[in-house]
Amino acid sequence: MGTITIIKGDITLITADAIVNAANTTLLGGGGVDGAIHRAAGRELLEECRKLNGCETGEAKITQGYNLPARFVIHTPGPIWKGGTCNEEQLLKNCYYNSLCLAEQYGCETVAFPSISTGVYHFPLEKAASIALRTIQNYLKTSHTIKEVLMVCFSDQVREIYSEALLKQSMEK
């Protein structure tokens, strides 16, 4: 079974088979992680994304990594938090699950995720961490390809919350 490692870092510098982009539904770049990935990958990423005709919230699409140290970028638009009454939890779970499915389909052994929807989309961080880690752990139980998933956190506070959530879930087993 694959492992989950939680680190603080810049996802655009991670060497992995695939990094996941917390995209918007246009896939044409934006702020935060999305903008950083587009800037680091170069113009070719935007050109390829234009051909994908966007992506629904919770779904995922894959592109080449271009100037990134990752072979692929998996783009997944996360849900905007609206108080938890608009299926946000299931949509976030779908982001992680569908991204992992694509990674597996493309033979990826290492996948790096940011904390999807917890920035400008305001998904509560503790809740998002729990959903992300549970979804990844469940997926890794049956994956034959993915050996390591990195949760790349942009701050010590986010890394700490993911670390605590992972510890809590490992104690529940």
Tens of pLDDT along 140-160? 999 999 999 999 999 999 999
The mean of the pLDDT values for the chain is 96
Q: Does 10 qualify as catalytic in the annotation?
A: no
The first and second tokens of residue 56, run together, are 């629904």
Is residue 65 helix, strand or coil?
coil
Running DSSP on this structure, what letter comes out for residue 138? H
Q: How far is CA 81 from the centre of its chain?
A: 17
- Tell me the Cα Rg of the chain: 15
Average pLDDT in the 10-38 region?
Answer: 96
Residue 137 has pLDDT above 80, yes or no: yes
Average pLDDT in the 27-37 region?
Answer: 93
The first and second tokens of residue 126, run together, are 């503790």
- CB count, 10 Å around CB of 169? 15
Residue 173 has pLDDT above 80, yes or no: no
**What residue spans define the domains of the chain?**
8-146+156-172
Q: What are phi and psi of 112, to 5 degrees?
A: -115, 130
What is the C-alpha end-to-end distance of the chain, expressed in Å?
15
How do the residues of the chain divide into helix, strand and coil, expressed in percent and rounded to 5?
Answer: 40, 20, 40
- CB count, 10 Å around CB of 124? 13
Residue 81 has pLDDT above 70, yes or no: yes
The first and second tokens of residue 100, run together, are 């992992």
**At 170, is the pLDDT very low, low, confident or very high (cuts 50, 70, 90)?**
confident
**At 109, is the pLDDT very low, low, confident or very high (cuts 50, 70, 90)?**
very high
Q: Class of 8-146+156-172 per CATH?
A: alpha beta
Is residue 81 helix, strand or coil?
coil
Nearest to 96 by CA among 32, 155, 143: 143
Percent of the chain with pLDDT over 70: 99
pLDDT of residue 172: 82
pLDDT tens column, 84-107: 999 999 999 999 999 999 999 999
Spot the catalytic one: 10, 17, 34, 156.
34
What is the distance between the alpha carbons of residues 170 and 77, in angstroms, rounded to a whole number?
28
The first and second tokens of residue 17, run together, are 């088979």
pLDDT of residue 1: 83
